[in-house]
Protein backbone atom coordinates (compact mmCIF):
# COMPACT_ATOMS: atom_id res chain seq x y z
CA UNK A 1 0.00 0.00 0.00
CA UNK A 2 1.33 3.45 -0.94
CA UNK A 3 1.74 6.06 1.79
CA UNK A 4 -1.17 8.10 0.36
CA UNK A 5 -3.60 5.19 0.56
CA UNK A 6 -2.23 4.28 3.97
CA UNK A 7 -2.92 7.79 5.29
CA UNK A 8 -6.47 7.72 3.89
CA UNK A 9 -7.12 4.34 5.51
CA UNK A 10 -5.76 5.49 8.88
CA UNK A 11 -7.83 8.67 8.68
CA UNK A 12 -10.89 6.52 8.02
CA UNK A 13 -10.20 4.67 11.28
CA UNK A 14 -8.65 1.49 9.91
CA UNK A 15 -6.54 0.07 12.76
CA UNK A 16 -4.93 -2.52 10.50
CA UNK A 17 -3.69 0.31 8.31
CA UNK A 18 -2.23 1.98 11.38
CA UNK A 19 -0.49 -1.30 12.23
CA UNK A 20 1.01 -1.24 8.75
CA UNK A 21 2.18 2.33 9.31
CA UNK A 22 3.89 1.24 12.54
CA UNK A 23 5.58 -1.65 10.68
CA UNK A 24 6.80 0.74 8.01
CA UNK A 25 8.15 3.50 10.26
CA UNK A 26 8.97 1.95 13.67
CA UNK A 27 12.67 1.42 12.89
CA UNK A 28 13.07 4.94 11.56
CA UNK A 29 11.27 6.50 14.54
CA UNK A 30 13.10 4.41 17.14
CA UNK A 31 16.51 5.20 15.68
CA UNK A 32 15.65 8.89 15.32
CA UNK A 33 14.75 9.08 19.03
CA UNK A 34 17.79 7.01 19.97
CA UNK A 35 20.02 9.46 18.11
CA UNK A 36 18.77 12.28 20.31
CA UNK A 37 18.64 10.61 23.72
CA UNK A 38 21.37 7.91 23.42
CA UNK A 39 19.39 5.64 25.71
CA UNK A 40 17.41 2.62 24.55
CA UNK A 41 14.66 2.74 27.20
CA UNK A 42 14.04 6.43 26.72
CA UNK A 43 14.03 5.95 22.95
CA UNK A 44 11.48 3.16 23.23
CA UNK A 45 9.16 5.27 25.40
CA UNK A 46 9.59 8.22 23.06
CA UNK A 47 8.90 6.14 19.97
CA UNK A 48 5.67 4.89 21.58
CA UNK A 49 4.65 8.49 22.24
CA UNK A 50 5.50 9.42 18.67
CA UNK A 51 3.09 6.81 17.29
CA UNK A 52 0.35 7.89 19.69
CA UNK A 53 0.87 11.45 18.50
CA UNK A 54 0.72 10.30 14.88
CA UNK A 55 -2.54 8.54 15.61
CA UNK A 56 -4.00 11.62 17.28
CA UNK A 57 -2.79 14.06 14.63
CA UNK A 58 -3.05 12.15 11.35
CA UNK A 59 -6.35 13.89 10.52
CA UNK A 60 -4.39 17.18 10.43
CA UNK A 61 -1.75 15.83 8.05
CA UNK A 62 -2.26 17.62 4.75
CA UNK A 63 0.45 15.96 2.72
CA UNK A 64 2.56 19.09 2.23
CA UNK A 65 5.60 17.00 3.10
CA UNK A 66 6.26 13.30 2.73
CA UNK A 67 4.72 11.13 5.44
CA UNK A 68 8.17 9.99 6.57
CA UNK A 69 9.33 13.60 6.92
CA UNK A 70 6.26 14.52 8.96
CA UNK A 71 6.73 11.48 11.21
CA UNK A 72 10.44 12.25 11.61
CA UNK A 73 9.57 15.81 12.63
CA UNK A 74 7.29 14.49 15.38
CA UNK A 75 10.09 12.20 16.59
CA UNK A 76 12.50 15.16 16.77
CA UNK A 77 9.95 17.31 18.59
CA UNK A 78 9.16 14.62 21.16
CA UNK A 79 12.86 13.92 21.76
CA UNK A 80 13.62 17.61 22.27
CA UNK A 81 10.71 17.94 24.69
CA UNK A 82 12.23 15.20 26.84
CA UNK A 83 15.71 16.72 26.62
CA UNK A 84 14.41 20.20 27.55
CA UNK A 85 12.40 18.82 30.45
CA UNK A 86 15.47 16.99 31.76
CA UNK A 87 17.58 20.11 31.30
CA UNK A 88 15.17 22.14 33.41
CA UNK A 89 15.10 19.50 36.15
CA UNK A 90 18.86 19.18 36.09
CA UNK A 91 19.41 22.95 36.38
CA UNK A 92 16.91 23.14 39.21
CA UNK A 93 18.62 20.23 41.00
CA UNK A 94 22.03 21.88 40.60
CA UNK A 95 20.67 25.16 41.90
CA UNK A 96 19.02 23.51 44.88
CA UNK A 97 22.10 21.45 45.67
CA UNK A 98 24.08 24.71 45.89
CA UNK A 99 21.95 25.74 48.83
CA UNK A 100 21.93 22.28 50.33
CA UNK A 101 18.54 21.11 49.14
CA UNK A 102 17.64 18.15 46.96
CA UNK A 103 14.96 18.18 44.32
CA UNK A 104 12.68 15.19 44.08
CA UNK A 105 12.10 13.83 40.61
CA UNK A 106 15.58 14.35 39.19
CA UNK A 107 17.44 11.14 38.53
CA UNK A 108 21.15 11.60 37.72
CA UNK A 109 21.03 8.31 35.80
CA UNK A 110 18.95 10.14 33.20
CA UNK A 111 22.28 11.16 31.67
CA UNK A 112 23.25 7.53 31.21
CA UNK A 113 24.44 6.63 27.72
CA UNK A 114 23.08 3.29 26.60
CA UNK A 115 23.01 3.27 22.80
CA UNK A 116 22.82 -0.25 21.35
CA UNK A 117 24.20 1.02 18.05
CA UNK A 118 27.54 1.93 19.62
CA UNK A 119 30.15 -0.76 20.18
CA UNK A 120 31.16 -1.52 23.74
CA UNK A 121 34.77 -0.36 23.28
CA UNK A 122 33.46 3.08 22.26
CA UNK A 123 31.15 3.62 25.24
CA UNK A 124 33.47 6.11 27.00
CA UNK A 125 33.96 8.04 23.82
CA UNK A 126 30.20 7.98 23.26
CA UNK A 127 29.68 9.52 26.68
CA UNK A 128 32.01 12.40 25.75
CA UNK A 129 30.32 12.79 22.38
CA UNK A 130 26.85 12.90 23.92
CA UNK A 131 27.89 15.42 26.57
CA UNK A 132 29.38 17.64 23.85
CA UNK A 133 26.28 17.37 21.66
CA UNK A 134 24.14 18.15 24.70
CA UNK A 135 25.92 21.50 25.01
CA UNK A 136 25.14 22.60 21.43
CA UNK A 137 22.48 25.20 20.61
CA UNK A 138 19.26 23.41 19.69
CA UNK A 139 19.26 24.00 15.93
CA UNK A 140 22.89 22.86 15.63
CA UNK A 141 22.08 19.85 17.74
CA UNK A 142 19.16 18.84 15.52
CA UNK A 143 21.11 19.28 12.29
CA UNK A 144 24.15 17.39 13.60
CA UNK A 145 22.13 14.53 15.08
CA UNK A 146 19.97 14.05 12.00
CA UNK A 147 22.87 14.29 9.58
CA UNK A 148 25.70 12.49 11.36
CA UNK A 149 24.12 10.12 13.86
CA UNK A 150 20.85 9.37 12.11
CA UNK A 151 22.54 9.35 8.70
CA UNK A 152 19.97 11.54 6.90
CA UNK A 153 20.91 13.36 3.71
CA UNK A 154 21.12 17.16 3.65
CA UNK A 155 17.86 17.21 1.66
CA UNK A 156 16.10 15.13 4.29
CA UNK A 157 17.49 17.21 7.16
CA UNK A 158 16.38 20.40 5.41
CA UNK A 159 12.90 18.96 4.87
CA UNK A 160 12.57 17.76 8.48
CA UNK A 161 13.80 21.10 9.84
CA UNK A 162 11.77 23.05 7.26
CA UNK A 163 14.93 24.85 6.21
CA UNK A 164 17.28 25.10 3.23
CA UNK A 165 20.35 23.05 2.40
CA UNK A 166 22.74 26.04 2.74
CA UNK A 167 21.30 26.73 6.20
CA UNK A 168 21.82 23.12 7.18
CA UNK A 169 25.40 23.21 5.89
CA UNK A 170 26.02 26.33 7.95
CA UNK A 171 24.51 24.75 11.07
CA UNK A 172 26.64 21.64 10.59
CA UNK A 173 29.81 23.67 10.12
CA UNK A 174 29.19 25.60 13.33
CA UNK A 175 28.17 22.45 15.20
CA UNK A 176 31.37 20.69 14.21
CA UNK A 177 33.52 23.65 15.29
CA UNK A 178 31.70 23.86 18.63
CA UNK A 179 32.07 20.12 19.22
CA UNK A 180 35.79 20.21 18.44
CA UNK A 181 36.25 22.99 20.97
CA UNK A 182 34.16 21.24 23.60
CA UNK A 183 35.83 17.86 23.11
CA UNK A 184 39.29 19.40 23.21
CA UNK A 185 38.36 20.90 26.54
CA UNK A 186 37.05 17.51 27.75
CA UNK A 187 40.25 15.70 26.86
CA UNK A 188 42.44 18.45 28.28
CA UNK A 189 40.58 18.02 31.54
CA UNK A 190 40.76 14.24 31.09
CA UNK A 191 37.07 13.85 31.89
CA UNK B 1 46.33 20.19 30.84
CA UNK B 2 46.44 16.47 31.43
CA UNK B 3 50.13 15.54 31.44
CA UNK B 4 49.43 12.07 30.02
CA UNK B 5 48.25 13.45 26.67
CA UNK B 6 50.09 15.62 24.19
CA UNK B 7 48.37 18.17 21.95
CA UNK B 8 48.52 15.70 19.07
CA UNK B 9 46.99 12.94 21.14
CA UNK B 10 44.19 15.21 22.24
CA UNK B 11 43.54 16.22 18.63
CA UNK B 12 43.46 12.54 17.67
CA UNK B 13 40.97 11.76 20.46
CA UNK B 14 38.76 14.65 19.36
CA UNK B 15 38.77 13.44 15.75
CA UNK B 16 38.02 9.86 16.81
CA UNK B 17 35.15 11.00 19.00
CA UNK B 18 33.66 13.13 16.25
CA UNK B 19 34.06 10.26 13.80
CA UNK B 20 32.12 8.03 16.19
CA UNK B 21 29.00 10.06 15.42
CA UNK B 22 29.05 8.68 11.88
CA UNK B 23 29.71 5.12 13.03
CA UNK B 24 26.56 4.79 15.09
CA UNK B 25 24.67 1.82 13.72
CA UNK B 26 20.94 1.70 13.12
CA UNK B 27 19.35 -0.88 15.40
CA UNK B 28 16.24 -3.01 15.38
CA UNK B 29 13.18 -2.04 17.36
CA UNK B 30 12.80 -3.95 20.66
CA UNK B 31 10.52 -6.98 20.59
CA UNK B 32 6.92 -6.25 21.43
CA UNK B 33 7.22 -2.61 20.44
CA UNK B 34 4.34 -2.70 17.98
CA UNK B 35 2.07 -4.52 20.45
CA UNK B 36 2.74 -1.77 22.97
CA UNK B 37 1.85 0.90 20.44
CA UNK B 38 -1.38 -0.84 19.41
CA UNK B 39 -2.44 -1.29 23.04
CA UNK B 40 -1.76 2.39 23.63
CA UNK B 41 -3.89 3.25 20.62
CA UNK B 42 -6.78 1.13 21.85
CA UNK B 43 -6.61 2.81 25.25
CA UNK B 44 -6.62 6.28 23.73
CA UNK B 45 -9.89 8.00 22.99
CA UNK B 46 -9.31 8.38 19.32
CA UNK B 47 -10.53 11.32 17.28
CA UNK B 48 -10.02 9.16 14.21
CA UNK B 49 -11.87 6.04 15.22
CA UNK B 50 -14.76 7.73 16.96
CA UNK B 51 -17.40 8.18 14.26
CA UNK B 52 -18.09 11.76 13.25
CA UNK B 53 -21.89 11.40 13.63
CA UNK B 54 -21.43 10.27 17.22
CA UNK B 55 -19.28 13.28 18.05
CA UNK B 56 -21.80 15.63 16.42
CA UNK B 57 -24.74 14.03 18.25
CA UNK B 58 -22.98 14.23 21.61
CA UNK B 59 -22.06 17.88 21.05
CA UNK B 60 -25.62 18.78 20.02
CA UNK B 61 -27.11 16.96 23.02
CA UNK B 62 -24.74 18.74 25.38
CA UNK B 63 -25.61 22.12 23.85
CA UNK B 64 -29.37 21.44 24.17
CA UNK B 65 -28.99 20.39 27.82
CA UNK B 66 -27.00 23.51 28.69
CA UNK B 67 -29.49 25.74 26.90
CA UNK B 68 -32.46 24.04 28.56
CA UNK B 69 -30.90 24.31 32.00
CA UNK B 70 -30.18 28.01 31.53
CA UNK B 71 -33.69 28.70 30.23
CA UNK B 72 -35.33 26.86 33.13
CA UNK B 73 -33.26 28.69 35.69
CA UNK B 74 -33.99 32.12 34.22
CA UNK B 75 -37.71 31.54 33.73
CA UNK B 76 -38.06 30.07 37.22
CA UNK B 77 -36.37 33.11 38.77
CA UNK B 78 -38.40 35.61 36.75
CA UNK B 79 -41.70 33.81 37.48
CA UNK B 80 -40.98 33.71 41.22
CA UNK B 81 -40.34 37.43 41.39
CA UNK B 82 -43.35 38.24 39.24
CA UNK B 83 -45.83 36.20 41.33
CA UNK B 84 -44.48 37.59 44.58
CA UNK B 85 -44.62 41.17 43.35
CA UNK B 86 -48.15 41.03 42.00
CA UNK B 87 -50.09 38.72 44.29
CA UNK B 88 -48.64 38.91 47.77
CA UNK B 89 -49.39 41.14 50.70
CA UNK B 90 -46.91 39.41 53.01
CA UNK B 91 -44.20 41.88 54.26
CA UNK B 92 -41.62 39.10 54.08
CA UNK B 93 -42.11 39.08 50.33
CA UNK B 94 -40.17 42.32 50.07
CA UNK B 95 -37.25 40.55 51.69
CA UNK B 96 -37.72 37.61 49.36
CA UNK B 97 -37.68 39.93 46.39
CA UNK B 98 -34.70 41.99 47.53
CA UNK B 99 -32.51 38.98 48.25
CA UNK B 100 -34.03 36.49 45.81
CA UNK B 101 -34.82 34.10 48.63
CA UNK B 102 -37.21 31.18 48.68
CA UNK B 103 -39.48 30.09 51.52
CA UNK B 104 -36.99 27.45 52.49
CA UNK B 105 -34.27 30.08 52.81
CA UNK B 106 -36.39 32.24 55.09
DSSP letter at A150 equals: S
What is d(CA A83, CA A126) in angstroms, rounded to the nearest whole number? 17
Q: What is the pLDDT of residue A106?
A: 44
Per-residue pLDDT at A43: 96
Q: At a CB cut-off of 8 Å and minimum separation 6, what does B17 contact?
A: A125, A128, A129, A132, A183
Residues 6 or more apart in contact with residue B11 via CB below 8 angstroms: A184
Q: How many CB atoms lie within 10 A of CB B33?
A: 19
Partners of A114 in the β-ladder: A39
Look up the pTM and report it.
Answer: 0.73
| Alpha helices, DSSP H, located in A38-108 | 40-57, 67-98
ipTM at complex level: 0.80
Which one is predicted more confidently, B103 or A21? A21
pLDDT digits (tens, 9 = 90+) for A38-76: 999 999 999 999 999 999 999 999 989 999 999 999 999
Main-chain dihedrals φ then ψ at residue A134, nearest 5 degrees:
-60, -20
Nearest to A58 by CA among A91, A101, A25, A104: A25
Least Cα separation, residue A91 to chain B (angstroms)? 26
| Closest Cβ–Cβ partner in B14, B29, B41 for A26 | B29
> For an interface test with A, which of B1, B7, B11, B14 has the most A Cβ atoms less than 10 Å from its Cβ?
B14
Contacts with A184 from chain B: Cβ below 8 Å? 10-11, 14
Amino acid sequence: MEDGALIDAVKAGDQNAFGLLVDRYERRVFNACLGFVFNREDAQDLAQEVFLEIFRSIHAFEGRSALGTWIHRIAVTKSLELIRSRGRKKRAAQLLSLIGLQQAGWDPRADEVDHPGIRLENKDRARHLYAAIDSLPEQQRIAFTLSKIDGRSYEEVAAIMESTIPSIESLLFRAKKALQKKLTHFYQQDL
Amino acid sequence: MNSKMTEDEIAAQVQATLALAEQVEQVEVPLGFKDGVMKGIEATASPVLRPLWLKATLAAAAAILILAANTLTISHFVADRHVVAVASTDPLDQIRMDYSLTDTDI
